[in-house]
Structure 1
Amino acid sequence: MQLPQIRLESQMAKIQIQKTPPQQRIQQPEAEMSIQQPKADLSITTKPSKLTIDQTEAWEDLNLMHISKRIEKFADEGHKAAMEGTARRARQGAELMKIENAGNPIANQAITNAFDQMKRIGIKFIPSHFAVKTNYEPSEVQIDVKVNEPIIHVQPQKPVHTYATGDVSVSMRQYQDLQIGFVNLFSDSV
Structure 2
Amino acid sequence: MRLPQIQIRTTDAKLDLNISKPQQYIKQPSAKQHIEQPAAILEIHTTRGVLKIDSSQARRDVGMIGPLEATKNAAAEGQQAALKGAARRAREGRQMMMSAGKGQGHTTIQNIAKQNHGPQRTPFNIKFVPSIGAVKIDYTPGTTDVNIQRREPIIDAKVNKPIHEYTPGKVTGTMVQRPDVDIDVII
The TM-score normalised by the length of structure 2 is 0.54
- 8 Å contact from structure 1 (residues 26, 159) kept in 2: yes
- 1:133 is the counterpart of 2:144: no
Change (3 A) 1:172 1:57: same
Secondary structure of 1:34's aligned partner: strand
Pairing 1:48–2:51 present = no
* CA shift for structure 1 position 174: 1.1
Please provide the CA RMSD for this pair. 3.7
Q: What SS does structure 2 have at the residue aligned with 1:18?
A: strand
Tell whether 2:150 aligns with 1:147: yes
Q: Structure 1 CA distance, aligned partners of 2:33 and 2:8?
A: 79
Q: Which runs of 5 or more structure 1 residues have no equivalent in the other structure?
A: 1-6, 75-114, 182-190
Q: CA deviation at 1:121?
A: 4.7
Separation in 1, partners of 2:157, 2:163:
18
Change in CA separation of 1:26 and 1:140 when aligned onto 2, cut-off 3 Å: same
1:158 equivalent to 2:125? Answer no
Q: Is the 8 A contact 1:62 1:125 kept in 2?
A: no
**CA distance change for structure 1 residues 180 and 122 in 2, over 3 Å: closer, same or farther?**
closer
**Structure 2 unmatched runs, 5+:** 1-6, 77-114, 116-120
1:13 to partner: Cα distance: 2.2
Count of residues in Structure 1 that have an aligned counterpart in Structure 2: 134
The residue type equivalent to 2:32 in the other structure is E
Q: SS in structure 2 opposite 1:57? A: helix
Partners of 2:182 and 2:164 lie apart in 1 by 55
1:43-75 CA distances to partner (integer Å, 9 max, x unpaired)? 2222112111122433554685987xx89xx9x
**How far apart are residue 119 of structure 1 and its match?**
6.7
Show CA shifts across 1:127-180 (max 9, x none).
311211112333322222222221110011111111111122232111235689
